[in-house]
Amino acid sequence: MIERRFTARDDGFHFADMGDDWWATETVWFSFHHPERRLGGWFYTMARPNIGTIAGGAWIWDDSAHLPWEVLYSANYSALPIPAGQDLTDITLPTGVSIKVLEPCMSYALGYDDGERLQARLRFDGVMAPEALTATGSTFGSAHHFDQFGRVSGHLDLHGERIDIDCLAMRDRTWGRRPENRPRQAAYITAMADQDFGFLAVTNVQPDGEPIAYGFLRRDGRNAGIAEGERSVQRDPDTGMTTRIELRLTDQEGRTLSATGEPVSRIVINRHTFIDINSLIRWDLDGETAWGEEQDMWPVHRFARRRRERQG
């Protein structure tokens, strides 16, 4: 197991540490949601320092649409310039995203600016320390990867409407070699009932099942890595979209969890050679209601083949 710890230095870019491979990649992701409106949202940034580009932007969706050109808001830039003289500790990106560290490793001011279409002023406050991904066999490979649950508060001005945000949601940070043609089918699943109870599970799809490759259970305010677990999914026979998730896991302390989730809204995001079918999920965690997400990730060719087989 690889021992890693997220420090104040890791709030900044890691460009000097990533070598000269053009695939050297650094990402910053914050999620948020409004359960009553079935509304989910992302701010996502992907920097490739050796070719000088910033990609990403913002997505906001509800249950009215799932295609990126039909949802409430979608801006997915591919090759904008990295701002000179700025670090992630206090930066305004050409995608519209802004990030400022308020407390190292824990609290961040987030903004987004796209004129009358979308203005956002949010704050992320961690409810736990960043948790290191330690399973190099996962879909993220050997890249540095940290996940952190926090409370997201503030507001959006979306097409002229003020929407208040107050939720528990996930952020992550990665840096390292991240090739475009990642071939694996996988899922990244989150849920939080309250600041002391939730889980993260990352699965790899195998011919005989879908075991959890990495994750942690947070219970009574204490995190422990997942020792074993399995994800089971029911899908719409026509679209292939998730309709129900069942998850069973045991952590390294012997604590168990049975979780059942149902999507309430989703967006399909095309991320180079794979698609991310990202759903806002209402969960039952051993009888407690929770909210989170399922990133159902497919190589494009594999999802397309499945659709052809179903239609044929």
User: Residue 65 sits in a domain of what CATH number?
Assistant: 2.40.370.10
Which pLDDT value is given to residue 1? 41
Per the domain annotation, does 283 fall within a domain?
yes
Per the domain annotation, does 84 fall within a domain?
yes
Domain of residue 118: give its range: 19-311
Which pLDDT value is given to residue 3? 57
Q: Give the CA distances from residue 307 to residues 11, 252, 273, 274, in Å, rounded to whole numbers and listed in that order.
A: 41, 38, 17, 15
Structure tokens at 286: 């051993």
Structure tokens at 98: 């802004």
Strand, helix or coil at 227? strand
pTM: 0.94
Per the domain annotation, does 4 fall within a domain?
no
Q: How far apart are CA 98 and CA 110, in angstroms?
A: 6
Could you tell me the sign of the dihedral formed by the alpha carbons of 229, 235, 241, 243, in that order? negative
Strand, helix or coil at 101? strand
Could you tell me the sign of the dihedral formed by the alpha carbons of 24, 187, 198, 138, in that order? negative
Which pLDDT value is given to residue 177? 84
Spatial CB neighbours of 48, under 8 Å, sequence gap ≥ 6: 22, 23, 24, 25, 26, 55
Per the domain annotation, does 127 fall within a domain?
yes
CB 202 within 8 A of CB 189: yes
Using only the alpha carbons of the chain, give its radius of gyration. Answer: 18
Q: Give the CA distances from residue 113 to residues 22, 86, 199, 235, in Å, rounded to whole numbers and listed in that order.
A: 29, 18, 32, 36
Per the domain annotation, does 2 fall within a domain?
no
Structural domain count, the chain: 1
Which pLDDT value is given to residue 179? 76
CB 47 within 8 A of CB 176: no
Per the domain annotation, does 7 fall within a domain?
no
Closest Cα partner for 33 from 278, 280, 242? 280
Per the domain annotation, does 129 fall within a domain?
yes
Low-confidence ranges of the chain (pLDDT < 70): 1-3, 134-143, 182-183
Spatial CB neighbours of 272, under 8 Å, sequence gap ≥ 6: 180, 181
Per the domain annotation, does 290 fall within a domain?
yes
